[in-house]
Structure 1
Amino acid sequence: DIHSPRIPTEDEITTAIERALQQIDRSLFWVNPDCGLKTRKEDEVKAALKVLVDSAQKLRQNEPTQPTA
């Protein structure tokens, strides 16, 4: 809910990204914030973006390496 001040947890975001990656090729997938940032205060936005970035970085670290040609 974009009107809720609740910040999703890193586990919630990671799970959502993992579910999406089951349907979308990783090379075509971009993580970006949903709408609602304009309705939040700066500290809420920073906290939400930190969780999003931390989740994406965690998944990238666990990403299987691509073979080089």
Structure 2
Amino acid sequence: GVYDIHSPNIPSVEQMVELMRLAARRIPAERLWVNPDCGLKTRTWAEVDPALHNMVEAARRLREAFAPGTAAQA
């Protein structure tokens, strides 16, 4: 996962993008799934909401970067 739900830290979009790029160096981008670490019950909604918004934005940026016809930089 790109979001450690056991930490109160809310990862930035840039932090998540970097983790996704690292994963894409070893796993083909078409086989990657972006998701939080297992479950969200240990966090408050005030922590979960911004973290999930950041995750969605990070995934959007990576999809755009890895889209066919673009020069993806894993």
Q: Same fold (TM over 0.5)?
A: yes
More helix by share: 1
Structure 1 unaligned runs (5+)?
none
Q: How many residues in Structure 1 have an aligned counterpart in Structure 2?
A: 66
Q: Deviations over 1:13-54 (max 9, x none)?
A: 000000000000112111111135111111211111111110
TM-score under structure 1 length normalisation: 0.82
Pick the structure with greater CA Rg: 1
Q: CA RMSD in A?
A: 1.6
Runs of 4+ in structure 1 off by over 6 angstroms are: none
Offset, 1:4: 2.7
Structure 2 unaligned runs (5+)?
70-74
Identity of aligned residues (%): 42
